[in-house]
Amino acid sequence: MKITSRLLIWLLCAGALVLACGPHAHRNDSSASAADGPPAPKPTAPAPEGLVLATSANVSVGDQVALSLHVTNVADHSVELDFPNGQTHDFVVLDSAGHELWRWSSGRMFTQALQNKLLNSTETVTYAESWNPRGLHGDFTLVAILRSSNFPKEERVAFEVP
């Protein structure tokens, strides 16, 4: 009886550890999909020699500021994005002087497990978040970052909150 109880406790602890450390999506206004949000620009010409990924960032200003990063495989073969941990992307908002006002990843925890994302030829993945400017007005810059270890990308977009 004592051995069975110890085994049960050990299995429950191991299961809790796997659940806590396993990969899972964050649910705080975050999304990454191949179809959500505004359509990503599609490449119209053949990719230049050696270009594998095309990226673009979009900003849509309303009550909230909608931010998106589109990543498109422009190669004629599948590409695997490697991420050193659970963070696939980040968004940073800078003021007109270049000072950081907000960073999406600030205060978030990410799994420490390696992860991969396979993009087929011409496939696009979109990472979308939102920022609440909380009464701020003026000119800002979005820095959208793909945190891939083998294809790191960064896009900047200037925008205005009236």
Query: What confidence tens digit (pLDDT) does each residue in 30-82 have?
Result: 444 444 444 444 444 444 556 899 999 999 999 999 999 999 999 999 999 99
Examine residue 7 and state whether it is found in any structural domain, yes or no.
no
Give every CB contact of residue 90 below 8 A, 6+ residues apart in sequence: 103, 104, 105, 144, 145, 147
Predicted confidence at residue 38, as pLDDT, reads: 47
Report which secondary-structure segment, H or E, holds 25. Answer: none
Examine residue 24 and state whether it is found in any structural domain, yes or no.
no
pLDDT digits (tens, 9 = 90+) for 110-132: 999 999 999 999 999 999 999 99
Predicted confidence at residue 133, as pLDDT, reads: 95
Examine residue 13 and state whether it is found in any structural domain, yes or no.
no
Examine residue 100 and state whether it is found in any structural domain, yes or no.
yes
Q: How many domains does the chain have?
A: 1
Place of tokens 């999909």: 33
Examine residue 98 and state whether it is found in any structural domain, yes or no.
yes
What CATH number should be reported for the domain holding residue 130?
2.60.40.2360
Q: Which of 45-54, 91-100, 132-141 has the lowest mean pLDDT?
A: 45-54
pTM passes above 0.85 = no
Examine residue 59 and state whether it is found in any structural domain, yes or no.
yes
Examine residue 41 and state whether it is found in any structural domain, yes or no.
yes
Predicted confidence at residue 94, as pLDDT, reads: 98
Predicted confidence at residue 51, as pLDDT, reads: 84
Confidence of residue 24 (pLDDT cuts 50, 70, 90): very low
Examine residue 134 and state whether it is found in any structural domain, yes or no.
yes
Q: Tell me which residue range forms the domain holding 97.
A: 31-161
Q: What is the mean pLDDT of the chain?
A: 82
Q: Which amino acid is at 6?
A: R
Predicted confidence at residue 159, as pLDDT, reads: 98
- At residue 16, φ and ψ (nearest 5 deg) are -65, -40
Task: Look at residue 136 and tell me whether its pLDDT is greater than 60.
Answer: yes
